[in-house]
């Protein structure tokens, strides 16, 4: 079980590294595109489409890591003022809604992936890419996001650890 958890943690970290590398690649493409234009040359046609794909993959690959590191936006104006028991219930309700929503997105995107693979359609832009490649990371990313919220739900971690520690020391 410990090995499985290490592999899972490694997957989350690896996807975050790939997301970061993708952004670095997109920045390099933008710089190259602008530089070529500045020198009066024509940049490659694939630049804009490639950057759009990188942004999609970046968002999906970094999402599980951001949930784990509490690196996305959440508002706790209401729950921070609740007593312990109602706050615990509100936290679990938020986790459960997040898990269900992520699993619904994973299920729907898996269906889209299968349909795109069976239809053999292409996303036709400056480069032609099979449509299933666009959907490929979605089911995995949403499933991993659900797993990360599941960690909060079962009590492995708390989404509001910083708030709780600050309140305890006050």
Give per-residue pLDDT as tens, 15-61: 999 999 999 999 999 999 999 999 999 988 889 889 999 999 999 99
C-alpha pair distances (Å), 164 with each of 9, 70, 90, 150, 159: 25, 14, 14, 19, 10
pLDDT at position 74 is 66
Structural domain that includes position 109: 2-169
167 has pLDDT over 50: no
Among candidate residues 72, 25, 71, the one with its CA nearest the CA of residue 52: 25
Q: Specify the pTM.
A: 0.82
Percent of the chain with pLDDT over 70: 89
pLDDT at position 170 is 42
Mean pLDDT of 152-167: 64
The dihedrals phi and psi of 160, each to the nearest 5 degrees, come to -110, 35
| β-strand partners of 123 | 129
Confidence at 152, pLDDT banded by 50, 70, 90: confident
Q: How many CB atoms sit inside 10 A of residue 91's CB?
A: 20
pLDDT at position 157 is 74
168 has pLDDT over 80: no
pLDDT at position 73 is 63
Q: What whole-number distance in Å separates Cα of residue 24 and Cα of residue 132? A: 24
Confidence at 120, pLDDT banded by 50, 70, 90: confident
User: Measured in whole angstroms, how far is the alpha carbon of residue 153 from the centre of its chain?
Assistant: 19
Contact call for residues 136 and 159 (beta carbons, < 8 A): no
Mean pLDDT of 128-147: 93
Domain count, the chain: 1
Least confident of 3-12, 113-122, 160-169: 160-169
Mean pLDDT score across all residues of the chain: 87
């Amino acid at each position: 079980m410990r090995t499985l958890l290490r592999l899972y943690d490694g997957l989350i970290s690896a996807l975050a590294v790939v997301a970061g590398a993708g952004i670095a690649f997109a920045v390099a493409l933008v710089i190259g595109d602008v530089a070529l234009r500045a020198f009066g040359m024509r940049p490659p046609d694939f630049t804009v489409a490639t950057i759009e794909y990188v942004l999609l993959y970046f968002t999906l690959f970094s999402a599980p890591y951001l949930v784990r590191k509490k690196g996305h936006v959440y508002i706790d104006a209401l729950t921070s003022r609740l007593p312990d028991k109602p706050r615990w219930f509100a936290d679990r309700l938020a986790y459960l809604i997040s898990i269900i929503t992520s699993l619904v997105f994973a299920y729907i995107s898996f269906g889209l992936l299968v349909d795109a693979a069976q239809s053999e359609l292409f996303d036709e832009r400056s480069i032609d890419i099979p449509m299933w490649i666009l959907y490929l990371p979605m089911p995995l990313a949403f499933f991993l996001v659900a797993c990360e919220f599941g960690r909060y739900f079962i009590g492995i971690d708390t989404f509001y650890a910083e708030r709780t520690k600050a309140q305890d020391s006050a």
